[in-house]
Amino acid sequence: EPEVTQTPSHQVTQMGQEVILRCVPISNHLYFYWYRQILGQKVEFLVSFYNNEISEKSEIFDDQFSVERPDGSNFTLKIRSTKLEDSAMYFCASRGPGTTAVRNEKLFFGSGTQLSVL
Amino acid sequence: DAKTTQPPSMDCAEGRAANLPCNHSTISGNEYVYWYRQIHSQGPQYIIHGLKNNETNEMASLIITEDRKSSTLILPHATLRDTAVYYCIAGSNDYKLSFGAGTTVTVRA
């Protein structure tokens, strides 16, 4: 089965530093997402992205966060100035376009990047 | 998205069917019921979804009550690899999935 690939698997950074989390969605997918999960807590939606722009974002996704699809394969999440509370597992997800008759409901998630802010 | 209620945990014997209930009494007419699972902090994995009709795929079956206020996910022959947290999500928004606490399913040999 095709996979969403995320790198790195672990990222350690100092508070205030910028980090970029990288994702390679499945090749024919058009819709892209970031979710995060703080240790022991629920999986939370951050942002959805389609046609090179943000479709929707949550309250968590403030001005410190940005997303980009710099080329035809990568999808990145940037945190400009990390805070201790940004420590979490970050999941990238993607889905295909479906057809005009049938929505494609299946969201594929990557294995995540564990971000630790010290 | 409609709120969903799931039992916090359940055990299941290997080889037996696991029936996971979910209550979504406030679900609206255009909201689907999605099931995902998360194995040991890996990324969530799609299992199945439905709107009104019962659905079956290679992983599971989804039974939705006629009034759509509740549903049951059935894993027909549970294996040890099915041990995971199972999430029932009701929503129609563009995949802004609202994960709750889910049901921790432990399959025992």
- Give average pLDDT by consecutive 10-residue segment, chain B, 109 residues: 92 97 92 93 92 94 96 97 96 78 96
Give CA–CA dist A112/A92, Å, rounded: 7
The shortest C-alpha distance from B38 to chain A (Å) reads 10
DSSP letter, residue B5: B
Phi, psi of B80 (to 5 degrees): -60, -30
Give CA–CA dist A10/A111, Å, rounded: 11
What digits encode the pLDDT tens for the residues A27-70? 888 899 999 999 999 999 999 999 899 999 999 999 999 999 98
**pLDDT value at residue A104:** 63
What digits encode the pLDDT tens for the residues A98-110? 655 556 678 899 9
DSSP string, B16-60: S-EEEEEE-TT--TT-EEEEEEESTTS--EEEEEESSS-EE-SS-
CB contact under 8 A, B97 and A110: no
Chain A, residues 69-108, CB within 8 A of chain B, namely 89, 91, 93, 95, 105-108
**pLDDT value at residue A110:** 97
Closest residue to A91, CB basis, from B34, B43, B100: B43
Give CA–CA dist A9/B53, Å, rounded: 39
Q: What is the mean pLDDT of chain A?
A: 92
CB contact under 8 A, A107 and B95: yes
**pLDDT value at residue A7:** 94
Tell whether B32 is within 8 A of chain A (Cβ): yes
**pLDDT value at residue A72:** 78
All residues at 6 or more sequence positions from B49 whose CB lies less than 8 Å from its CB, including other chains:
A105, A106, B32, B33, B34, B35, B55, B62
| 3 state DSSP class of B8 | coil
Closest residue to A110, CB basis, from B43, B93, B96: B43
**pLDDT value at residue A103:** 60
Give CA–CA dist A3/A42, Å, rounded: 23
Average pLDDT over residues A87-105: 79
CB contact under 8 A, B100 and A111: no
All residues at 6 or more sequence positions from B19 whose CB lies less than 8 Å from its CB, including other chains:
B72, B73, B74
How much of chain A exceeds pLDDT 70, in percent?
Answer: 94
All residues at 6 or more sequence positions from A100 whose CB lies less than 8 Å from its CB, including other chains:
none
Closest residue to B44, CB basis, from A55, A58, A109: A109
